[in-house]
């Protein structure tokens, strides 16, 4: 069974700061998901990546398959980025949606 | 942009009652999923559904749970006899493809908060 560890659990930043959230997993995977959970509870898929780096606006996700590690970066953070960021990986041998989720990193960006 | 829609947003029920949570996935998607999140805990996978049958389910998804796609648009999760510990947020998601080499993004609904009293 894959274990997913995220760090930090909580993160408070000032507006404009560069943010890094880390995710480590224990078993080899073919793709990793980064998700954003809004304060109201809804979940949005940010990235799905299997190698290298992906960028969308101020968000950058990287993955190192050999080291079983991924990072989510937010450049020029803004209060609207305040949310819980969740890393998820497929259950070993399972399909894409059969995911094991991390506990999440709660980000609070102060103006 | 197409969305996954879940109804109701909040459901309150008494212990022992049956509840049906409803989801309308994105219209051209083929793979459907249910997840749950107990307050303060991680999101957990419940079940995946493809081609009108369950393709995978977790240990949580016991005989009290069932899923159905009763028509071309709805995807439902039924809990036959609710227990207090079923209180959670339930998320539906859908994707166009699935599999080792053809991953496509998951699209989540906003969730249904189920409260069992």
pLDDT at residue A39, as a whole number: 86
Instruction: Judge contact between B90 and B36, C-beta under 8 A.
Output: yes
Q: Over range B27-34, report the average pLDDT.
A: 92
Mean pLDDT by 10 residues, chain A (111 residues): 91 97 89 92 91 95 94 97 96 82 97 96
pLDDT at A95: 76
Which residue of B55, B99, B103 is in closest CB contact with A48? B103
- Residues in chain B with CB shorter than 8 Å from the CB of A35 are 108
Q: Report pLDDT for B71.
A: 87
- The whole-angstrom separation of Cα A10 and Cα A7 is 8
Task: Report how far residue B85's alpha carbon sits from residue B70's, in angstroms, rounded to the nearest whole number.
Answer: 27
Q: Closest Cα of chain A to B49: distance in Å?
A: 10
The CA distances from residue B70 to A53, B30, B53, B96, B114, in Å, are 40, 14, 12, 19, 22
- Where does the pLDDT of residue B100 fall: very low under 50, low under 70, confident under 90, or very high at 90 and above? low
Residue of B nearest to A95 (CA): B99
Asked if the model's pLDDT at residue B101 lies above 60, the reply is: no
- Do residues B80 and B23 make contact, with C-beta atoms less than 8 angstroms apart? no
Tokens of A63: 């993955």
**Is residue A40 less than 8 Å (CB to CB) from chain B?**
yes
Mutate to test the interface with B, among A9, A33, A38, A43 (most CBs of B within 10 A): A43
The percent of residues in chain B predicted with pLDDT above 90, rounded, is 81
Q: What is the pLDDT of residue A45?
A: 93
Searching chain B, which residue's CA lies closest to the CA of residue A103?
B42
Per-chain mean pLDDT for chain B: 92
Question: Which one, of B79, B65, B66, lies nearest residue B116 by Cα?
Answer: B79
The token pair at B116 is 């069992």
Nearest CA in chain A to B105: A48
Q: Judge contact between B92 and B31, C-beta under 8 A.
A: no
Distance of alpha carbon B107 from the chain centroid: 12
CB contact under 8 A, B104 and A103: no
Q: Out of B95, B100, B111, whose CB is closest to A97? A: B95
Q: How big is the A-B interface in CB pairs under 8 Å?
A: 72
List the one residue out of A96, A72, A75, A93 whose CA is nearest residue A84.
Answer: A72
8 A C-beta contact, residue B45 and residue A99 = yes
Tokens 């389910």 sit on residue? B57
B positions 80-109 inside 8 Å of A (CB): 89, 91, 93, 95, 97-101, 103-109
Question: b/e map of B78-109 (b: 16 or more CB within 10 Å)?
Answer: ebeebeeebbbbbbbbbbeebeeeebbbbbbb
Compute φ and ψ for A94, nearest 5 degrees.
-95, 175
B3 in contact with chain A, both atoms CB, cutoff 8 A? no
Distance CA B87, CA A95 (A): 26
| B102: pLDDT strictly greater than 80 | no
């Amino acid at each position: 069974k894959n274990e997913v560890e995220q760090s930090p659990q909580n993160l408070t930043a000032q507006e404009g700061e560069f943010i890094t959230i880390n995710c480590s997993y224990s078993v080899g995977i073919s793709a990793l998901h980064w998700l954003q959970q809004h304060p109201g509870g809804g979940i949005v898929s940010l990235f799905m990546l299997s190698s290298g780096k992906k960028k969308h606006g101020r968000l950058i996700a990287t993955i190192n398959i050999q080291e079983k590690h991924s990072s989510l970066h937010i450049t020029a953070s803004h209060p609207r980025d305040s949310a819980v960021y969740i890393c998820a990986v497929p259950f070993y041998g399972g399909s894409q949606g059969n995911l094991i989720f991390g506990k999440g990193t709660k980000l609070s960006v102060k103006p | 942009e197409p969305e996954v829609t879940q109804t109701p947003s909040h459901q309150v029920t008494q212990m022992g009652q049956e509840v049906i949570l409803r989801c309308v996935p994105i219209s051209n998607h083929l793979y459907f999923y249910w997840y749950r999140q107990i307050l303060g805990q991680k999101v957990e996978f419940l079940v995946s559904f493809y081609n009108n049958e369950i393709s995978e389910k977790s240990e949580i998804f016991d005989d009290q749970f069932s899923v159905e796609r009763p028509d071309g648009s709805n995807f439902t999760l039924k809990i036959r006899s609710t227990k207090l510990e079923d209180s959670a947020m339930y998320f539906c998601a859908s994707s166009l493809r699935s599999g080792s080499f053809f991953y496509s993004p998951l699209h989540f609904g906003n969730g249904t908060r189920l409260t069992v009293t």
